[in-house]
Amino acid sequence: MAFHSMVFLYGFLPAVILCYFLLPARWRTGRNCILLIFSLGFYAWGGIWALPVLLASCAVNCLAGLGCAPGRPWGRAVYWCGVGVNIAALAYYKYTGFFLENLQALGMEVTIPSIVLPAGISFFTFQAVAYLTDVRRGTIPPERNPGKLTLFMVFFPQLLQGPILRYGAFAPALDDRRENSSAAAQGATRFCFGLAKKVLLADALGTIADAAFSSGDRLTVALAWLGAIAYSLQLYFDFSGYTDMAIGLGRIFGLPIPENFCYPYAAVSVTDFWRRWHQTLSFWFRDYVYIPLGGNRCSRRRQVVNLAAVWLLTGLWHGAAWTFVLWGGYYALLLMGEKFLWGRGLARLPMPVRRLYAVLAAVVGWVIFRSADLAQAGAMLQGMFGFAPGGLWSGEAAYYLLQFRWELLVAIPACLPVKVWLEEQLRRGAEQGRRLQAVVLALGPKVLVFGLLGWSSVRLLSSTFRSFLYFQF
Amino acid sequence: MERICNRIFLGILLAVVLAVPAGVALWGRHQTTAYYENRALAQLPEVTAQALLDGSFGTEAESWYADHIPGRTTLLMLDTFVQMDVLRRPVVNDTVVGGDVLVPFLSFKEWTAADYAANAGPISQDYGHLSDYVEENGGTLYFVGIPEQRIYFEDTFPDYLNNHATEAEAADSIFFAALKEQGVSCIDMGAIYDAQGHPDTYYSAVDHHYNYYGAYAAYRAILETLEEDGWDLPVLTEEDLTFEELPNPYIGSRNRKLYNLWPNEDKAIIATQKDPVAFTRTDEGEPSDKPLFILPAAEDLPTTYNLYMGGDFGETVLETHRPELPDVLIVGDSFTNALETLLYASFDETRILDLRHYTQCSLKDYIGQYQPDIVLCVQNDTFYYTTTGNGAVWTD
């Protein structure tokens, strides 16, 4: 079930909220049970076939967590077995087809089975590995209550697309949290803003991106840039919109879901970009791959190997295709370059130049990321840099600019910290006793919520359904 | 204060999200069709183990729920208004709204002449087989090609959109050349309209069909061709007819997609015969008392292209009981509807088949059974290359 479906917005969501808040707050276990039942229903809505995979993962990790704690006999072996089972499941569902396709391309006669990826497996597997590792390291105690661990794994706001949770940060709230109207109002507001980001901006911009990436011989320089920029914005508003909805829902139920984005297109370097984009994934790779491999505290050669390994895995995590491997390699090179070659020089450049460099690097990266294959990536990049089969400009580019001018006009400032600046101005005005600014600050977002929810709902009714982009990863 | 404000906010929001399912339960679930979208609403799926297992229940239930939201049509109409009149998008609901007429938004991708040439061969062979078969049964086949409104008004597309003019020209010329190679007699109304000065008055600004003036020009062109081929048929001349613009608002298929919000003065046109040719009618094998034009009960009620013959039927038969005249079989989609109101007057028996809806037998068997003197295959040019529906003219 998608957050931006009518069934979720006007069926599932009011049902879970009513059931949850009709139980007295002191019945903490009951409220957790409500969330668990609805989360499993949420997952099963897309097909019950995938539910056993999710529940098996929960069961295995619950047992492995109990067995791998420091001091337990065979703890290390249990830990590696647990991690192995998680990775094996992910590898089977996600990479079998890719692996066999490549064997086939090498001339081997293999049959490629049709394996359907259980939704969210990349996310819940990473959460499980993080849990086992934290238990093994002694950072957190193993969870003895399987219900709580299952809720951590399947909590519906983050089940399909993250953010990737850590049990140490999530678990305390399972026993001790206080839902209140202020947090719920903030959460509802954030949810509706996230919905609008997805429905009103990302989906419209996706139309431009789809057209540009499938234009073939009609591709012009203008269309290539328009498509690349539109996709960069689409991906941001799609994924950050989902994250806003997840965080908002978490707040309504009093459960903490970490931030995942911090205005990545305002970054001043590629290194900075990855501190701001999909933060929970970056932190996961840092804490569970990069640092265990030696991180920065090793020779330069080893650091290069570590970075390459992390980015190869990051690329592959996003999808089983050579474009993702290339995309990971692209970032590995850029990050190594900033670390060892041009990072200091870059820091001395004027801020606008640094920002332009970072955003251009990201846009080029997203072109590789979005392309169906290496040939399409090559054609798009060639087009962007002047070698487009259709020339410089076309009516198609003009049409998409004209048709989606409002979305582009809103999306560009909205992906920069304009909102933060605006809030700051209003807050300052309110502190200086300006009543209008105080009213706008207090009521503006709440009034906007109704408009955005209504408009998003109408757009959902009138447009073809588009799933979230990160849903496929 | 903040707490109260938050509680009021949450209360209203919860009321809104609860109002929708309540509305679906009370009102929305009873609706079955979406008039402006010209489709049936999704049906509530059955709960089966397989549907739950593979997730199809969820997908279908979402479609059903979204289709039955109370006030859905009003909301979509409001959205169309905002897109068209507030945001001023050049294309709304796949319709180009910027010009003097409504045309559809077309993909930027085009077929090449080579693509058309590859398809024209087998399709024209089917018409060739059909033509031979009609002749074996004592008749003559004519293919009547009529431009669709978007082709007729191809110059009205904004420069930055693709009107597919070059593609359409190539497609038409390749198709007619292939038909002629097969010995099929052709009437290319695109060329005839051009020879008449390509009058704007022949086509609707808000519908994908021609209007009655365009249909009348096609009728005259068909009868002139038949006359040249030696048929002596009565003709409804302009003196025999009284053309009349109906006062009712006219909802064309293009404006219908815009919830009839695009301002226009387009009206439906009919022509009544001063000395009407009497007929009896059967639709789908059943006697029918439907007249040639189905007029709304009041002047303020809207009308559509369906006013001609009452819309599409699988089979309609009009008998004028004048055995001295030949019989005609007209095969085609809704473009034939306006033509039928004129053509029947020139024949004894007029049989009309719409192969999208007629399933009782193949066209070949139908011709073998009724042996019409003249067979008119009427196609609009966007369907020349289709091999289904009215393009499925031959089965061995």
pLDDT digits (tens, 9 = 90+) for B323-353: 999 999 999 999 999 999 999 999 999 999 9
* Cβ within 8 Å, pair B66-A1: no
Residue B287 domain-assigned (yes or no): yes
Q: Which residues of A touch B13 (CB under 8 A)?
A: 188, 449-450, 453
Confirm or reject contact between B26 and chain A (CB < 8 A). Answer: no
Integer Cα distance of A149 and A159 in angstroms: 13
User: What would the mean pLDDT of B141-149 be, rounded to a whole number?
Assistant: 97
User: What would the mean pLDDT of A368-387 be, rounded to a whole number?
Assistant: 96
pLDDT digits (tens, 9 = 90+) for B227-284: 999 999 999 999 999 999 999 999 999 999 999 999 999 999 999 999 999 999 999 9
Q: Which residues of A touch B14 (CB under 8 A)?
A: 14, 17
What was the pLDDT predicted at A462?
83
| Intra-chain end-to-end CA distance of chain B, in Å | 82
| Intra-chain end-to-end CA distance of chain A, in Å | 16
Instruction: Please enumerate in sequence order all residues whose Cβ is within 8 A of that of B366, keeping only pairs 6 or more positions apart, or say none.
Output: B329, B353
Residue B64 and residue B128 in one domain: no
Surface-to-core class of residue B207, CB atoms within 10 Å of its CB (0-12 exposed, 13-18 middle, 19+ buried): buried
Integer angstrom CA distances of residue B119 from A173, B125, B177, B384: 66, 10, 13, 10
What A380-387 contacts at long range (C-beta under 8 Å, 24+ apart), as own/partner pairs, is A380/A212, A380/A213, A380/A219, A380/A224, A380/A227, A380/A228, A383/A219, A383/A220, A383/A221, A383/A223, A383/A224, A384/A221, A384/A224, A384/A225, A384/A228, A386/A221
Predicted confidence band at A120 (pLDDT cuts at 50, 70, 90)? very high
Which of A122, A144, A70 is CA-nearest to residue A278?
Answer: A122
User: What would the mean pLDDT of A10-15 be, rounded to a whole number?
Assistant: 96
What was the pLDDT predicted at A238?
96
Residue B90 domain-assigned (yes or no): no
Residue B357 and residue B271 in one domain: yes
- Cα dihedral A366, A367, A373, A374, rounded to 10, equals -110
**A318 classed as catalytic:** yes
Residue B13 domain-assigned (yes or no): yes
By residue range, what is the domain housing residue B60? 1-70
* Cβ within 8 Å, pair B6-A181: yes
What was the pLDDT predicted at A45?
95
Predicted confidence band at A469 (pLDDT cuts at 50, 70, 90)? low
Residue B148 domain-assigned (yes or no): yes
Instruction: Return the residue of A nearest to B61 by Cα.
Output: A7
* Cβ within 8 Å, pair B53-A47: yes
Residue B8 and residue B127 in one domain: no
User: What would the mean pLDDT of B110-115 be, rounded to a whole number?
Assistant: 92
Confirm or reject contact between A47 and chain B (CB < 8 A). Answer: yes
* Cβ within 8 Å, pair B65-A443: no
Residue B124 and residue B251 in one domain: yes
> Which has more confidence, B390 or A466?
B390
Which B-chain residues 136-175 have CB contacts (< 8 A) with chain A? 159-162
Name the pairing type of β-strands B286-288 and B280-283.
Answer: antiparallel
Residue B41 and residue B148 in one domain: no
Confirm or reject contact between B47 and chain A (CB < 8 A). Answer: no
Confirm or reject contact between A467 and chain B (CB < 8 A). Answer: no
β-bridge partners, B380: B146
Instruction: Using the 3D structure, point to which of B70, B93, B123 is the last residue of a domain.
Output: B70
Integer Cα distance of A47 and B49 in angstroms: 10
Exposure on the CB side of residue B102, measured as CA atoms within 13 A: 29
Q: Is residue A465 scored above 50 in pLDDT?
A: no
Residue B143 and residue B61 in one domain: no
Confirm or reject contact between B112 and chain A (CB < 8 A). Answer: no
Confirm or reject contact between B9 and chain A (CB < 8 A). Answer: yes
Q: Which residues of B touch A402 (CB under 8 A)?
A: 89-90, 160
Peptide bond connecting B249 to the previous residue in cis, omega within 30 degrees of 0: no
User: What would the mean pLDDT of A212-221 be, rounded to a whole number?
Assistant: 96
Instruction: Using the 3D structure, point to which of B11, B45, B70 is the last residue of a domain.
Output: B70
Predicted confidence band at A472 (pLDDT cuts at 50, 70, 90)? low
Residue B211 domain-assigned (yes or no): yes
Q: Is residue A195 scored above 90 in pLDDT?
A: yes
Q: Is residue B129 scored above 90 in pLDDT?
A: yes
Q: Is residue A468 scored above 80 in pLDDT?
A: no
Predicted confidence band at B99 (pLDDT cuts at 50, 70, 90)? confident
Confirm or reject contact between A393 and chain B (CB < 8 A). Answer: no
pLDDT digits (tens, 9 = 90+) for A127-156: 999 999 999 999 999 999 999 999 999 999
Residue B228 domain-assigned (yes or no): yes
What was the pLDDT predicted at A467?
54
User: What would the mean pLDDT of A58-63 be, rounded to a whole number?
Assistant: 96
* Cβ within 8 Å, pair B90-A11: no
Lowest mean pLDDT among A222-231, A396-405, B3-12: B3-12
User: What would the mean pLDDT of A312-337 be, rounded to a whole number?
Assistant: 95
What A125-129 contacts at long range (C-beta under 8 Å, 24+ apart), as own/partner pairs, is A125/A57, A125/A86, A125/A87, A125/A89, A125/A90, A126/A164, A126/A281, A126/A284, A126/A317, A127/A152, A127/A153, A127/A164, A127/A165, A127/A166, A127/A167, A128/A57, A128/A61, A128/A82, A128/A86, A128/A153, A129/A83, A129/A86, A129/A87, A129/A288
Average model confidence (pLDDT) across chain B: 94
Residue B101 domain-assigned (yes or no): no
Residue B77 domain-assigned (yes or no): no
pLDDT digits (tens, 9 = 90+) for A16-33: 999 999 999 889 999 999
Average model confidence (pLDDT) across chain A: 94
Which one of A11, A403, A442 has the shortest CB-CB distance to B89? A403
Instruction: Using the 3D structure, point to which of B17, B45, B70 is the last residue of a domain.
Output: B70
Q: What is the ipTM of this complex?
A: 0.90
Integer Cα distance of A193 and A248 in angstroms: 9
* Cβ within 8 Å, pair B55-A49: yes
A144 residue type, one letter? R
Q: Which residue has the tokens 């011709």?
A: B367
| Exposure class string for A144-165: b at 16+ Cβ within 10 A, else e | eeeebbbbbbbbbbbbbbbbbb
Residue among A136, A251, A318, A370 flagged as catalytic: A318
Count of structural domains, chain B: 2
User: What would the mean pLDDT of B156-183 be, rounded to a whole number?
Assistant: 95
